[in-house]
């Protein structure tokens, strides 16, 4: 677990004025990493840190000598902490680096971004117990949760090559579907397109093949956290997922936010990991004192929708839901790492572990439309009178997240935004 230090001091201010504004997503206490280049250029991707509404080019600033984000993520925790301290010191009010580092700043509005690192492997978990229960009730009313759910972190291997960065459009997926009253399946566009509100846990230093990562060391193998929308074709999924799980219903696109908020930045926003009375305690390989004391992440997340008509009318996106990760997640990030590697699986820098859909215990905290609409049986009415059961062409879906707590400065995650096209 990472400790609170001088880089989290709520009194710290930056010479980048926008970082000091109330409610800023990227104050000096945050310092998330991403990859960028000037908009319209054909140059290579650079490593930057968000500060206010600017990006600090770390290589131009002279604090790193690489453009390989995965190599940076593979550094030892103490090396990453030293880099964070150096960046924090250089961006503070009164820093002697201001004159030189001002030349390394570029407005985010003048940048284009890509996936924040090269994702080699993508594993999607199923940690949202309220989501799992609600989905289970739709399909298995007598047994919403499978017997293994409270004992083992459920996951499947996803498709890394179709992970895209926030702001990109994607085509409506196609595949086989089968209506309940049909004699045979048909092929065509998905009619029940959904989103999934998730966290993306990015692996830092990997582990050797055959060497499990124990719980006590699990967080040292995580670089940080972002947002991910694991788009889902529910009708295709219903027909294909037995017996081996999702395939075409998930492999067409997953949208991530451009920034990775580091585990160090999240140190002030931790809480105890507890289980409800009567639930089984984790097996020993999934348990540790540190995880019990501070394993949970206190992150607030929200989902917003903007239809094509809303966009044409200049209407702001409408918030569908807002929830808490601490209320939603049944397993912690450390437990996902420990379980993923317990059989000797080798994680590598840049690997992405999806949390699974993070839904709270009430409808206003759902993380997907299939829950909000009870499987499409109950439509949602938007402020302009439009209705939705699932996503339509032209719809833009936006995920946002932030952390705030008394005695700490609020930090944000940026957006994971994507638009459905025909």
Catalytic residues: 131
The C-alpha atoms of residue 321 and residue 240 are separated, in whole angstroms, by: 29
Instruction: Answer yes or no: are the C-beta atoms of 370 and 135 closer than 8 Å.
Output: yes
What are the backbone dihedrals phi and psi of residue 178, each rounded to the nearest 5 degrees, phi first?
Answer: -140, 115
Query: Which residues are within 8 A (CB) of 242 and not within 5 positions of it... i.e. 6 or more apart?
Result: none
Exposed/middle/buried for residue 251 (C-beta within 10 Å: 0-12, 13-18, 19+): middle
The C-alpha atoms of residue 232 and residue 234 are separated, in whole angstroms, by: 6
Exposed/middle/buried for residue 256 (C-beta within 10 Å: 0-12, 13-18, 19+): buried
Secondary structure, 3-state, 264-304: CCCCCCEECCCCCCCCCCCCHHHCCHHHHHHCEECCEEEEE
Question: Edge-to-edge strand order for the sheet containing 33-38?
Answer: 105-107, 54-57, 46-51, 33-38, 111-114
Strand partners, 415: 400
Vertex 415: Cα angle to 412 and 419 (nearest 5): 170
């Amino acid at each position: 677990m990472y400790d609170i230090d001088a880089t989290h001091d709520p009194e710290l201010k930056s010479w980048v004025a926008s970082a000091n504004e109330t409610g800023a997503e990227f104050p000096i206490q945050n310092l998330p990493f991403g990859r960028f280049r000037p908009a319209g250029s054909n140059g290579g991707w650079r490593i930057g840190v968000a500060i206010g509404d600017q990006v600090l080019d770390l290589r131009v600033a002279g604090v790193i000598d690489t453009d390989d984000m995965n190599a940076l993520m593979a550094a030892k925790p103490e090396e990453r902490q030293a880099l964070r301290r150096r960046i924090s010191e250089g961006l503070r009010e009164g820093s002697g680096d201001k004159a030189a580092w001002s030349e390394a700043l570029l407005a985010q509005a003048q940048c284009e971004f890509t996936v924040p690192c090269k994702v080699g492997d993508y594993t999607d978990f199923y940690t949202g117990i309220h989501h799992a229960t609600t989905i289970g009730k739709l399909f298995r009313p007598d047994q919403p949760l499978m017997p293994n759910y409270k004992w083992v972190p459920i996951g499947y291997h996803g498709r890394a090559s179709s992970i895209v960065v926030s702001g990109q459009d994607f085509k409506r997926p196609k595949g086989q579907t089968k209506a309940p009253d049909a004699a045979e399946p048909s092929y065509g566009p998905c009619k029940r397109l959904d989103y999934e509100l998730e966290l993306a846990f990015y692996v830092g230093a990997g582990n050797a093949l055959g060497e499990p990562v124990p719980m006590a060391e699990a967080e040292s193998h995580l670089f940080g956290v972002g947002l991910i929308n694991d788009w889902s074709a529910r009708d295709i999924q219903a027909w294909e997922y037995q017996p081996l799980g999702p395939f075409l219903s998930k492999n067409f696109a997953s949208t991530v936010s451009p920034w990775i908020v580091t585990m160090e930045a999240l140190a002030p926003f931790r809480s105890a990991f507890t289980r409800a009375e009567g639930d089984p305690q984790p097996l020993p390989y999934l348990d540790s004192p540190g995880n019990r004391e501070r394993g949970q992440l206190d992150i607030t997340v929200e989902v917003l929708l903007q239809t094509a008509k809303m966009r044409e009318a200049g209407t702001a996106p409408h918030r569908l839901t807002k929830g808490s990760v601490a209320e939603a997640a049944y397993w912690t990030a450390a437990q996902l790492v420990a379980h993923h590697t317990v059989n000797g699986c080798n994680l590598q820098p840049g690997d992405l572990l999806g949390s699974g859909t993070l839904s709270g215990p009430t409808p206003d905290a759902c993380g997907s439309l299939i829950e909000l609409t009870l499987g499409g049986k109950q439509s949602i009415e938007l402020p302009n009178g439009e209705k939705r059961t699932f996503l339509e062409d032209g719809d833009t879906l936006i995920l946002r997240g932030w952390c705030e707590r008394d005695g700490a400065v609020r930090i944000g995650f940026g957006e994971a935004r994507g638009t459905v096209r025909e």
